[in-house]
Structure 1
Amino acid sequence: MFTYGTSTETLSAGQSKEFLPDVKLELKKEEISSETLTITSTEKIIVHATSLKHNSVQTALVIPTDQLGKEYLVPPVPRIPGTNDNVTLDVTERRPFRLVIISGDQPTKVTVEGAETREVSLRPQQVAQILLQEAAELRAVRADQPVAVLLTHSCAIRLNCTCGLLLTRLSPATQEQLRFFIPPFLAKNASGETFLLLSKEDSTTIEAFDPNSPLVETTGSVVLYRPGFLLTLIPEKDFASCFVVSRIQGMQSFAVIMVHKDFTDGVRIRKDPLGSPDWQELRGTEFVSTAVELDLETNVIWHTSSKMAVYFVGKHGTALYGNPAPIVSRTPEVVKIGEVVDGWRESVKYCRDNDLQLVSFSRTVNVMQIHKELVQVKNDSMREAWIGMRRSSQTGEWYWLNNDPVTDTNWEEGEPGTEDDGQCAIMSLESGKDFGWRDEDCCKAALPVCYRRPVLFPL
């Protein structure tokens, strides 16, 4: 259940609903505004904002207040002939770029640093607009409470003397050295007009996109610009395992997927592997990327064992728009062979102490993928391991620790034996035994196979 302004709605898991905000919420030329819309929810939800006006389309992912930051580095504005080569407040397409700063749930003091430093005081859920004049280029936004910061232009010049909205949400500042990868699709048919806007604590630079060098390493943030499109890039440290991407009806919509070249076969859209993806190498890196056109209204894109980056990208005419895809889960499926040789009960505790569980090979897990992971991590000294199955002392029936029903099994020939032969299930890791199971005394010493399933939207 969530509240949108003054109305309350109840959604089922995986359900989506579209709302049209009141046009009175438009900021126009106000420097500080209280015209904001608040959305609250009893469960985790994703909020995707879309702006469509004439031939201009922009989208943005609305971030919850607990993920906002107190410090942002401001990237340089792109050089756009006809827009910022002769800035004036009197002509819409020649007006300067703006920072839009939105306060969270607390009164907030914001310091905007640049050639001239200024302070702005905001009440909860207020919005401030700061013009990015060339003569007073801004470097950073620092606040005593978490805020959101957007870089935007109301109607920047595009092609054929048209203009359109530009918008991207900035990421909070970090002191880490970060790696950013640029998928070729983002610069397709516009590589000579694509630029990277880099911001660091002490400097800002604009670099032309080089398809032979799709990796950028910096301590700040990176924003990609091409005519009609601004996009804050995802650093490698923020790669995740599961995303949800919603298409916009009537327009071409894509998921741009970037993953390590050794893990392409683990990418899934809903329950299915990618059909025949055209993986493009990111030169000089170990990553590849592909763009998949979206047919369904809602698409869950996830990886069985690794992390990746996913962008939502739409196409309207010749212009692109989009944003980083909403993350459902940052943690992929985890398979871990424990380091401690012990009994079955002790193995259960070992896995739980590592925020995992002794693996249950039920229909809710990808058994073949787990077997593949075990082949990669085991060594020649590992011959058997505990799994999360045992025999009920009351009924003698076998059950899984995760309470899933026991349907498909992989007992070795002649197994399981009687109740006197063993109460716990152990799995062979020896070559040629196909990970077969047998019953065993629960006190036998063996390694545990620990597991955590990915957190996904309903598929």
Structure 2
Amino acid sequence: MFFILLIASTFTQGHTIVSHGDSFITAFPENLGYFYPFDSGRTLRVTALHDGTSFTVYFNNTKRKIQDLSSGETAKVTFPKTAEIHELDYSTNSIRITSDKNVVVQSFSQTDKGTNLGRSVQTRVVQPITNLGTDYLIRPLNQSDLIQTFSGSPGPILSKRYSSFKLIIINAENTENNITIFKNISGSVKQENFTISSYQLFELQANASIFKVKSSHKVAVILTHPCLEIEACKCNMIVNQILPTQFQGQNFVVPFMQGITESRLLMTSNDMSTSLSHNNVQLQPSPSGFLSLSSQTESQYVNSSGNVSLTLISPGLIIEVIPENMFAACYLLQFYSDISATKKALVIAETGSRKDVHKQNIRVTNTKWTEINGTKYSSGIISLTESQTFIWHPSSKIAVYILEDTDTAVYGGPAIPINDQPDEFGCVVIPGQFEVQNVRLNWTESLAHCTSLQGHLACLKNEDFQSELANMVNTTEDEEAWIGLRRSLMTTEWYWQRQKPSTTPLPSPSVAYVHWADGQPLDKSKGLCASLSLDREDAFKWKTAKCCEKKRPVCYKPPVVLTALNLGKTENFY
């Protein structure tokens, strides 16, 4: 019955461009087996992205405030057993978090049978309210179909309580919310309507017949199995916070996890005619909707004819596949640190720049990369010892999945995306800013002036930076401003000059991208420094200039980045 253990011991983390925010709502699905006598608790981990962060947790007319977290610090908030959702009905057991600055929230719950006898664990990323919506497609998951798909025989007969999935719908707004459930019953679409009060939730029985949820206001939707019975009286959960339809895609790199020998895909789409293809061959679904890939030993690229959500299901994992359009620049990884486990990260990166993947402040080395056939990507596995870390890339978008393997359970899913725009400075939590100063200085004075503002003269080292400046600087003046480009007195070659706020010079980036005006650059006798036009009509073109001339500096304040992670404060709702 090994297949039951692996299916039952999974969790699925949602994916989106970023998963941080200042307002969240969630709930704890039931984590219970009748043979589990010990209760270990329910915890929300709240990770601050900025210094001086304060947040408040609301639960059953009670609130707790935690103040003054530093950047990268995680606070643990624990809840009693009564916080779990046990009944198919309305409940006020939703949990809200509001913060004065952006945070990331992750949910953990665990029930122990006793020392060395196994445990039921579930964990998931709690999506910010900004990522929630009013239109959701529901995964057509059925326990018997899951078991039969990977075993070839029907699953065991269980009580109704434990043999089906459940759907938790949480009203994310302070207003009455009208909900419509769409069911496909014998080929006919049926609708059920009900209303949820402010911040209230409703739990209902779910099976493959429910395919859509629509609401008048934002809701959070959680698909959960309370406790799947497995060999030797063990019990584990499947939990999936579903994302609204705006977070779908058409192109996917389906990850291969080491040790997984069999997997299936499950596609969800608004359009029943949408098809999925691999190597230009259309994949054919089984009667239960599962699709098979041609290889079980490598990451593979698939595409659909329309927008879809794609779920990877194997005997060991149920994973939401990150669409290519949702790749991000940096990810936060949080493991369930209270248990001993093998911790790994699977990274999908562009083959030409895969050596630039970083873990915290260090470039990742000694990673075995495998090129993904027919794509520009490679996949690699990074072994980890930390319970918290972050992985980022300075110049291109990547996808990151986590895998945690214990003696009794396997967990996996997308890591938490923090920022979608690559930056050489690291894992960005506040983007960099261009600003044209009002003072007029020579080039050397301009360099010192920008440094005094905790920045440097603008270095437009690629087209993205040039476009970013054009978007931020809204000027039409018929004058020029200094940028950080100048000529070497020794070689006459152009280079970017910049300094850290501490005045320590940074390495000078090579000049691979230029945006010269017509006829530029002039020879060195006409100037050793470079300026740009502040007239938007001139497209901010560059020109040579004499360094002693007085011009307005264009300063760039570097982004604020994560530098470290640590566990900090604990608050109990008891």
Displacement, 1:105? 1.7
Paired with 2:86 and 2:164, the residues of 1 have a C-alpha distance of: 14
- 1:208–1:128 distance in 2 versus 1, CA, 3 Å: farther
Contact 1:310 1:325 in 2 (8 A): yes
Instruction: Give the match for residue 155 of structure 1.
Output: 227
Q: Which one is further off, 300-309 or 54-63?
A: 54-63
1:440 corresponds to: 547
User: Which residue of the partner structure matches residue 483 of structure 2?
Assistant: 387
Match of 1:104 among 142, 162, 172: 172
Question: Contact 1:257 / 1:290 at 8 angstroms: preserved in 2?
Answer: yes
Partner of 1:414: none
Deviations 1:329-381 (A, max 9, x none): 1111289xxxxxxxxx99989xxxxxxxx9x899x999xxx89x669999xxx
Query: 8 Å contact 1:150–1:167 — kept in the other structure?
Result: yes
Deviations 1:209-240 (A, max 9, x none): 44367223231101122235322221111111
The alignment partner of 1:52 has SS state of strand
Aligned residues: 398
Question: 1:197 aligned to 2:302?
Answer: no
Question: 1:299: which partner in 2?
Answer: 389
1:143 aligns with 215
Letter in 2 for 1:59: T
Q: Give 2:333's aligned amino acid.
A: V
Q: What is the root-mean-square deviation of aligned Cα atoms in Å?
A: 4.4
On the 8 A contact 1:3/1:41 being kept in 2, the answer is yes
When residues 213 and 246 of structure 1 are mapped into structure 2, their CA distance, relative to the original with a 3 A threshold, is closer
Partner of 2:406: 316
- 1:180 and 2:266 are equivalent in the alignment: no
Q: Is the 8 A contact 2:356 2:364 kept in 1?
A: no
Q: SS of the residue aligned with 1:66?
A: helix
CA distance in 2, matches of 1:176, 1:45: 24
Partners of 2:332 and 2:389 within 8 A in 1 = yes
For 2:248 and 2:464, the matched residues in 1 are separated by 31
Counterpart of 2:135? 71
Match of 1:251 in 2: 341
Structure 1: gaps (5+ residues): 336-344, 350-357, 379-384, 391-399, 412-420, 428-436
Q: Give the match for residue 300 of structure 2.
A: 214
SS of 1:44's partner is: strand
Report the CA distance between 1:56 and its aligned residue: 3.0
- Matched residue SS, 2:71: coil
Matches within 5 A, 1:219-230: 219-227=307-315, 229-230=317-318
Distance 1:224 1:331 in 2: 26
Identify if the C-alpha distance between structure 1 residues 175 and 313 changes in structure 2 by more than 3 Å, giving closer, same or farther: closer
Match of 2:146 among 63, 73, 80: 80
Q: Residue 43 of structure 1: which of 81, 98, 101 is its match?
A: 101
The 3 A distance-change label for structure 1 pair 261 and 27 is same
Identical positions, percent: 25
Following superposition, the deviation at residue 72 of structure 1 comes to 1.1
For 1:180, what is the secondary structure of its paired residue? Answer: strand
SS at match of 1:43: strand
Give the deviation of 1:127 after TM superposition.
Answer: 1.9
Which digits, 9 at most, give the CA deviation of each residue in 1:63-104, with x for residues without a partner?
1112101111112215233899579773554x2112222210
Separation in 2, partners of 1:306, 1:319: 33
User: Which structure 2 segments of 5+ residues have no match?
Assistant: 1-53, 112-117, 185-189, 273-284, 426-433, 439-446, 467-480, 487-496, 509-524, 532-543, 565-574
> Per the alignment, do residues 331 and 450 of structure 1 end up closer, same or farther by CA in structure 2, a change over 3 Å counting?
farther
- After superposition, the Cα gap between the structure-2 partners of 1:285 and 1:422, relative to the gap in structure 1 and judged at 3 Å, is closer
State the Cα distance separating 1:202 from its structure 2 match.
Answer: 3.4
Residues 1:240 and 2:240 aligned together: no
Q: Relative to structure 1, is the Cα distance of residues 175 and 404 closer, same or farther in structure 2, using a 3 angstrom cutoff?
A: closer
Write the distance in 2 (CA, Å) between the matches of 1:131 and 1:152: 10
The Cα shift of 1:31 comes to 2.2
Aligned-partner residue type, residue 58 of structure 1: Q
Amino acid at match of 1:60: R
TM-score where L is the length of structure 2: 0.60
Equivalent residue in structure 2 for 1:33, among 87, 91, 96: 91
1:146 shift after superposition:
1.2
For residue 454 of structure 1, report the CA deviation from its aligned partner: 5.3
Q: CA 1:361/1:289 → structure 2, altered by over 3 Å: closer, same or farther?
A: farther
The residue aligned with 2:77 is: 19
Task: Give the conservation status (yes or no) of the 8 Å contact 1:168–1:231.
Answer: no
TM-score, normalised with respect to structure 1: 0.73
Task: Report the CA distance between 1:180 and its aligned residue.
Answer: 1.7
Structure 1 match to 2:64: 7
One-letter code aligned to 1:64: P
Larger relative CO (CA 8 A, sep 6+): 1 or 2?
2
Report the Cα distance in structure 2 between the residues aligned to 1:405 and 1:118, rounded to whole angstroms: 63
Q: Please name the residue that 1:354 is paired with.
A: none
2:504 corresponds to 1:407: yes
The answer on whether the counterparts of 1:77 and 1:197 sit within 8 Å (CA) in structure 2 is: no
* Gap change, CA 1:12 and 1:454, over 3 Å in 2: closer
Please say if residues 328 and 457 of structure 1, whose CA atoms lie closer than 8 Å, have aligned partners that are also in contact: no
| 1:458 aligns to 2:563 (yes or no) | yes
Higher strand share: 2
Using the TM superposition, give the Cα deviation of residue 304 of structure 1 relative to its aligned residue in structure 2, in angstroms.
0.6
**8 Å contact from structure 2 (residues 500, 506) kept in 1:** no
1:276 — aligned with what?
A: 366
Per-residue deviation at 1:33?
Answer: 1.4
SS of 1:81 mapped into structure 2 = helix
Kindly report which structure 2 residues correspond to 1:340-355, keeping only aligned pairs within 5 A, or say none: none
Question: 2:253·2:299 contact (CA, 8 Å) conserved in 1?
Answer: no
Cα separation, partners in 2 of 1:308 and 1:404, compared to 1, 3 Å: same
Q: Is the Cα–Cα contact under 8 Å of residues 435 and 556 in structure 2 kept in the other structure?
A: no
SS at match of 1:119: strand
C-alpha distance 346-377 of structure 1, shift in aligned 2 (>3 A)? closer
Report the CA distance shift for 1:405/1:138 in structure 2 as closer, same or farther (over 3 A).
Answer: same
Distance change in 2, residues 1:452/1:169 (3 Å): farther
C-alpha distance in structure 1 between counterparts of 2:465 and 2:100, whole Å: 40
Instruction: Give yes or no for the alignment of 1:126 onto 2:210.
Output: no
Closer, same or farther: CA 443–146 of 1 in aligned 2, 3 Å: same
